């Protein structure tokens, strides 16, 4: 399994570190703040309190076994740039750096960051897209021309089967999964529902308003399909 | 008379649950709303309506219903759990 290091334990860094740990990865975390290191030390395989801009100290940590380092000290541009540069010099195979602005990203790219992420910008775009189209739950751009879209089945499609809708023929899109909420009574006797996913939908599967479908296809064809169902 | 109203509200609540379990959400909402009109103090009715709205992927009214249920019974943990999930806690 690949080894990860997270440098900078703000909200973003901590979330990355926690998720990697939950997925079973062994991670090393570094921050200059004692309290944050203590918090991350509760789950991380190794937690070090240090100034990561100190080249000598950073070299001593031993990044030889680290495959990917995530630099999440975006608020301090100077530190973020310096740490990214040092990690590349030390020879970390892949360095992912968090950027705050386009200028920051440009510098990170020049000094060799392998990937640059804009968590706030990306989340801002997602929130805005959801506000414009509340029925779109997730939109992943697979390439400039292809999307993966997760959206709520509108009333107009209620009771129709995939065969009835003939989406593949009309819009050249594929339905890759259907999520349904299935009511049940829980152990405490309360009404509840659970999400059930049909990962291999076929033509006879019937849709209900409120189901969630996951589709892939060409961006312009998906837009055409959405225009049609919103009529 | 008051007891009758409550009994009728309870009966409608059970019918609403029946519709919910059979995924007939519009009918479930219709009778649950009637039940809530007859007995405005029953948190379970609002929780149930929240569930129906959520099952229909209508998160705004679902949140309103969970909040209403919690206003009537702040210890209704199932409503709190659903509300937390909807607001993304």
- C-alpha pair distances (Å), B65 with each of A170, B33, B36, B37: 39, 11, 11, 14
CB B28 within 8 A of CB B16: yes
Question: Mean pLDDT, to the nearest integer, of A105-113?
Answer: 92
Q: What is the CA radius of gyration of chain B?
A: 13
Nearest to A153 by CA among A180, A126, A130, A128: A180
Task: Give me the mean pLDDT over the A169-193 stretch.
Answer: 90
Distance, in Å, from the CA atom of A6 to the CA atom of A9, rounded to the nearest integer, reads 7
Please, which residues bridge with residue A70 across strands?
A6, A96
Please provide the average confidence, as pLDDT, over all residues in chain A.
Answer: 90
For an interface test with B, give the residue of A127, A153, A155, A190 to mutate (most B CBs within 10 A): A190
What average pLDDT does this structure show over B61-85? 94
In the block, tokens 């509300």 appear at B83
Q: How confident is the model at residue A226 (pLDDT cuts 50, 70, 90)?
A: confident
What are the DSSP calls for A56-69, one per residue? HHHHHH--TT-SEE
Q: Is A181 at the interface with chain B, CB within 8 A? A: yes
**So what's the pLDDT on residue A138?**
82
Non-local CB neighbours of A62 within 8 Å, separated by 6+ positions: none
Nearest to B51 among A152, A191, A208 (CB): A191
Helices (H), chain B: 2-21, 25-38, 43-55, 59-72, 77-87
Overall average pLDDT of the A129-136 stretch: 78
| pLDDT band of A124, cuts 50, 70, 90 | confident
The CATH fold assigned to A133-229 is: Alpha-Beta Plaits (3.30.70)
By C-alpha distance, the chain B residue nearest A181 is: B55
**pLDDT the model gives residue B32:** 97
Higher pLDDT, A74 or A167: A167
pLDDT, position A186: 87
Written as six digits, the tokens of A9 are: 């334990």
Edge to edge, the sheet with strand A212-218 lists A136-141, A146-152, A212-218, A174-185, A191-198
**Model pLDDT, residue A102:** 87
Q: Per mean pLDDT, which range of A12-16, A21-25, A130-134 is the poorest? A: A130-134
Q: What total of structural domains would you count in chain B? A: 1
Mean pLDDT across chain B, nearest whole number?
A: 91
- The fraction of chain A above a pLDDT of 90, given in percent, is 56
Tell me what pLDDT residue A178 has: 94
Residue B2 has a pLDDT of: 55
Residue B14 has pLDDT above 80, yes or no: yes
**Residue A117 pLDDT exceeds 90:** yes
Is the model's pLDDT at B1 over the cut of 60? no
Span A134-155, average pLDDT: 86
pLDDT tier, B3 (very low <50, low <70, confident <90, very high otherwise)? low
pLDDT at A228 over 90: no
The chain A residue lying nearest B20, using CA atoms, is A183
Q: Which residue of A has its CA nearest to B54?
A: A210
Alpha helices in A42-111 (DSSP H): 55-61, 77-90, 102-110
Q: What is the CATH number of the domain that holds B79?
A: 1.25.40.10
- pLDDT for A74: 67
Domain span holding position B83: 2-87
pLDDT of residue A202: 92
Residues of A194-228 as b/e, b for ≥16 C-beta within 10 angstroms? eeeeeeebeeebebbbbbbbbbebebebbeebbee
Burial of residue A106 (number of CB atoms within 10 Å: 0-12, 13-18, 19+): exposed
- pLDDT, tens digit (0-9, with 9 covering 90-100), for B18-44: 999 998 899 999 999 999 999 999 999
What is the 3-class SS of A127-158, one letter each residue?
A: HHHHHHCCCEEEEEECCCCEEEEEEECCHHHC
The percentage of residues in chain A with a pLDDT greater than 70, rounded to a whole number, is 99
Using an 8 Å CB-CB cutoff, list chain A residues near B20. Answer: 183, 191
pLDDT for A229 beyond 80: no
Domain boundaries, chain A: 4-118, 133-229
Percent of chain B with pLDDT over 90: 76
Q: Is residue B89 over pLDDT 60?
A: no
User: Structure tokens of B40?
Assistant: 């405005």
CATH of domain A4-118: 3.40.50.720
In the sheet with A68-71, reading across from the earlier edge strand, the strands are A46-49, A27-31, A4-7, A68-71, A94-98, A115-117
- Selecting from B21, B23, B51 the residue whose C-beta is nearest the C-beta of A208 gives B23
């Amino acid at each position: 399994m690949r080894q990860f290091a997270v440098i900078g334990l703000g909200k973003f860094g901590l979330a990355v570190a926690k998720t990697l740990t939950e997925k079973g990865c062994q991670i090393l975390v570094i921050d200059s703040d004692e309290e944050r290191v203590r918090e991350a030390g509760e789950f991380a395989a190794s937690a070090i309190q240090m100034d990561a801009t100190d080249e000598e100290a950073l070299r001593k940590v031993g990044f030889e076994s680290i495959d990917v380092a995530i630099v999440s000290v975006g608020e301090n541009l100077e530190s973020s740039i310096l740490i990214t540069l040092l990690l590349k010099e030390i020879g970390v195979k892949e360095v992912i750096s968090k950027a705050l602005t386009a200028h920051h990203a440009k510098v990170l790219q020049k000094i060799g960051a392998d990937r640059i992420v804009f968590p706030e910008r990306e989340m801002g775009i997602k929130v805005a897209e959801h506000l414009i189209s509340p029925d779109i739950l997730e939109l992943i751009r697979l390439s400039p021309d292809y999307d993966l879209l997760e959206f709520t089945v509108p009333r107009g499609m209620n009771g129709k089967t995939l065969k009835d809708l003939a989406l593949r023929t009309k819009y050249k899109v594929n339905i890759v999964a259907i999520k349904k909420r299935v009511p049940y009574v829980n152990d405490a006797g309360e009404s509840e529902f659970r999400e059930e996913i049909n990962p291999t939908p076929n033509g006879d599967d019937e849709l209900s308003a409120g189901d969630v479908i996951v589709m892939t296809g060409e961006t312009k064809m998906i837009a055409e399909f959405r225009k049609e169902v919103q009529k | 008379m008051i007891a009758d109203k409550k009994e009728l509200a309870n009966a409608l609540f059970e019918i609403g649950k029946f519709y919910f379990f059979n995924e007939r959400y519009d009918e479930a909402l219709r009778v649950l709303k009637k039940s809530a009109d007859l007995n405005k103090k029953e948190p379970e009715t609002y929780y149930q309506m929240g569930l129906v709205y959520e099952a229909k992927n209508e998160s705004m009214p679902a949140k309103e219903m969970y909040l209403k249920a919690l206003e009537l019974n702040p210890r209704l943990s199932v409503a709190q759990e659903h509300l937390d999930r909807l607001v993304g806690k």
